[in-house]
Chains A and B, each alone.
Chain A
Amino acid sequence: MSLETEHSSYLMSPVGVRIAERHPIAPRLNTLKATRIGLLDNTKKNADRLLAEVARILMRDYGVAEVMSRRKVSSSPATPVEMIDELATCDAVINAYGDCGSCASWCIYDGVALEKRGIPTATVNSDAFVVLGQQEAVALGLPGLPIATVPHPMGDVSAEEVARRAVAFVDQVVHVLTTDAQALESEYTDRFINESDTFTRSEMVCAI
């Protein structure tokens, strides 16, 4: 019996075949001291404030020497290659942030592009979108992409609240930029997908 006649006793699958080559994340830094950090602002509301505040703390408390700020034209689509090239001259990048469907997807896309270039990156999603973000990372071949999270929503909070969140957030940035890459990969692989029940399923979607 041929493969097709054998299989024709089953319904065909409408689901697209997904093939992703797995890539490692970039090597991490030993220290933030005397480093130059790129700040990628994807234009989402308050991303500029969060990045500025985090940069201030990193320079004050962690000895970061210099920051380089770049702002996308808009959160979607991808960051142009020229801007990625510029950011790739830094020792590490903070990429903020994905707090909606389309911008989370493109934020991850940018983070993956930087990691593949060998630049350790703190890719930031709001906690409501991090499951989508990690699914994206899996689809793009980096299931262990470290994704730092900020509370959702970020768009409607005051500058003072953003500053407070930055103080609480900075530890995650330090962690994902300076932890051993292998340890970091195993820590983050499937981490949010496994926790997905907490946000996507319980309140926001009625089960089939």
Chain B
Amino acid sequence: MRDMTATTFEQTGRFLAVPATLDFDKANEALYQQGMTDGLPVIPPTYERVARMLEGARRDPAQSLGTMGPAYGHATIEKIAVNAVMAGCRPEYMPVIVAAVEAMLEYEFNLYGINATTHPVTPMLVVNGPAADKLRINSGYNCMGQGWRANATIGRAIRLILVNIGGGTPGVGDRATHGSPAKFSFCLAENEFASPWLPLHVRRGFAPEDSTVTVHGSEAPHEINNHTSEEAEGVMRTFAHTLSTLGHNNSYLGRGEVAICIGPEHAQTIARDGLGLADVQDYLYRNAGNRRSELLAITRDNFAAMAPFEAAEEDPFVRLVEKSEDYLLFVAGGVGKHSMAMPSFGLTRAVTKRIDL
């Protein structure tokens, strides 16, 4: 029974009632039973491991970056470090994780909605600048898949933070109908070396020598295959067509941002025709979307279809986003003629923060 006379409540402590001397299996069982893991085994967060992790942050452990919904737990540097230990991070990853948490706490990211929603959204982290090489964050072959410690554990730490600090327990604070495999971990770097264009962080106002992390409230990635086009038009047309479906949130809302991770070969095909990323954004803005009649065939209440249209077209083309800049483009991947499409939660904006290396 809640004490109604208390002025504050819901305190939780620094330590668990789990002895640090328990063996690995038993410690994991205790953490798992308390719903503190992602289902995979974790590194038990002993005081010594957390202290080592904090050395990588070089910040006051008691400092709170803010509260994370829906539980409104305080994201202190120490709590972030505990979760980073559990995820298997190295201490030098801490500045990336801290910057990503700072980014997620910006109002426009809508973390409260993203953590609680029924939509299968997860924060995708894209790292730019020297941090990518220094921390060996994969931006090439299989950069969205398994095999790289930095990608796997930084993304995993973010998920554990959302569960333990934000209260994103499945079926409780996290109401994702299905979730997605990307919710275990989704972190990569831009392949700046393979990109013919300016890197994402420079396009978002940072200096080339800055290291940054950009968070995007993303669906799991969907492949865009184009093995044959010799010109930019064909590749961009495939991008637009892949996105022009009725079933994702940007189609439903007619706004938000849509990310595309352009594979280096597709990037070369596009750049060879003299096009920049602004041209790709403009092409997608004009060509990705749905006919209003198709949207209204589903329901009278499609938000995108209800928007006013300037032109008195008989069957207007309803775009996925409000302006061309709402296409968040970056280059990553290995050799091969694939790119990846990531529609978003819709009611969220990507946020970029500098990494304090």
**Chain A residues at the B interface, C-beta cutoff of 8 Å:** 4, 7-22, 43, 45, 74-77, 100-106, 109, 129, 131-132, 135-136, 138-140, 143-144, 185-186, 189-190, 200-201, 204-205, 208
In the complex, the answer to whether B176 meets A74 with C-beta atoms within 8 Å is no
| A8: B residues at CB distance < 8 A | 20, 46-48
Q: Mark B72-85, 1 if CB is under 8 A from A, else 0.
A: 11111011001101
Pull 19 A–B residue pairs with CB atoms less than 8 Å apart, ordered by A: A11-B15, A11-B22, A11-B31, A11-B46, A12-B47, A14-B165, A22-B4, A43-B303, A45-B301, A77-B112, A100-B117, A102-B113, A105-B112, A138-B10, A139-B167, A140-B72, A186-B4, A204-B171, A208-B32
B160 at the interface (CB under 8 A from A): yes
Cross-interface CB contact of A16 among B6, B71, B107, cutoff 8 Å: B71
In the complex, the answer to whether B7 meets A17 with C-beta atoms within 8 Å is no
In the complex, the answer to whether A135 meets B164 with C-beta atoms within 8 Å is no
| B112: A residues at CB distance < 8 A | 76-77, 102, 105-106, 109
Cross-interface CB contact of B2 among A10, A12, A17, A190, cutoff 8 Å: A190
Minimal Cβ-Cβ distance residue in B for A101: B175
What is the CB-to-nearest-CB distance from A44 to chain B, in angstroms, rounded to a whole number?
A: 9
Cross-interface CB contact of A208 among B19, B35, B82, B119, cutoff 8 Å: B35
In the complex, the answer to whether B116 meets A132 with C-beta atoms within 8 Å is yes
Cross-interface CB contact of B160 among A13, A14, A135, cutoff 8 Å: A14
| Assembly CA distance A13 to B164 (angstroms) | 9
In the complex, the answer to whether A105 meets B69 with C-beta atoms within 8 Å is yes
| B129: A residues at CB distance < 8 A | none
In the complex, the answer to whether A10 meets B16 with C-beta atoms within 8 Å is yes
In the complex, the answer to whether A15 meets B36 with C-beta atoms within 8 Å is yes
Sample of 17 more A-B contacts, CB < 8 Å, known A20-B9, A21-B7:
A7-B15, A10-B18, A14-B82, A14-B83, A16-B167, A18-B12, A19-B10, A102-B118, A105-B69, A132-B116, A135-B70, A135-B173, A139-B10, A140-B72, A143-B9, A190-B1, A200-B172
Minimal Cβ-Cβ distance residue in B for A105: B116
B289 at the interface (CB under 8 A from A): no
| Assembly CA distance A100 to B113 (angstroms) | 10
Which of A7, A15, A103, A144 gathers most chain B CB within 10 Å? A15
B263 at the interface (CB under 8 A from A): no
Given A16-B75, A139-B69, verify A101-B45 contact (CB < 8 Å).
no
| B107: A residues at CB distance < 8 A | 77
Given A11-B45, A16-B164, A132-B116, verify A22-B15 contact (CB < 8 Å).
no
**Chain B residues at the A interface, C-beta cutoff of 8 Å:** 1-2, 4, 6-22, 27, 30-33, 35-36, 44-48, 50, 67-76, 78-79, 82-83, 85-86, 107, 110, 112-114, 116-119, 160, 164-167, 170-176, 253, 299, 301, 303, 345, 347
| Assembly CA distance A135 to B73 (angstroms) | 13
Which of B83, B112, B160 gathers most chain A CB within 10 Å? B112
What is the CB-to-nearest-CB distance from A184 to chain B, in angstroms, rounded to a whole number?
A: 13
What is the CB-to-nearest-CB distance from B202 to chain A, in angstroms, rounded to a whole number?
A: 29
| B75: A residues at CB distance < 8 A | 16
Cross-interface CB contact of B14 among A12, A77, A185, cutoff 8 Å: A12
| A74: B residues at CB distance < 8 A | 253, 303, 347
| Assembly CA distance A100 to B253 (angstroms) | 15
In the complex, the answer to whether A205 meets B170 with C-beta atoms within 8 Å is yes
Cross-interface CB contact of A22 among B6, B14, B117, cutoff 8 Å: B6
| B46: A residues at CB distance < 8 A | 8, 11-12
| A22: B residues at CB distance < 8 A | 4, 6-9
Closest 6 CB pairs of A and B: A16-B73, A101-B175, A102-B113, A16-B165, A205-B171, A8-B47
| A9: B residues at CB distance < 8 A | 19-21
Cross-interface CB contact of A139 among B16, B70, B117, B301, cutoff 8 Å: B70
| A12: B residues at CB distance < 8 A | 14-16, 45-47, 50, 78, 82, 85
In the complex, the answer to whether B45 meets A102 with C-beta atoms within 8 Å is no
| Assembly CA distance A205 to B172 (angstroms) | 9
In the complex, the answer to whether B299 meets A101 with C-beta atoms within 8 Å is no
Given A16-B75, A18-B73, verify A101-B4 contact (CB < 8 Å).
no
What is the CB-to-nearest-CB distance from A139 to chain B, in angstroms, rounded to a whole number?
A: 4
| B30: A residues at CB distance < 8 A | 11
In the complex, the answer to whether A20 meets B113 with C-beta atoms within 8 Å is no
In the complex, the answer to whether A77 meets B347 with C-beta atoms within 8 Å is yes
| B67: A residues at CB distance < 8 A | 16, 18
In the complex, the answer to whether B110 meets A18 with C-beta atoms within 8 Å is no
Minimal Cβ-Cβ distance residue in A for B35: A208
In the complex, the answer to whether B12 meets A11 with C-beta atoms within 8 Å is no
| Assembly CA distance A17 to B165 (angstroms) | 8
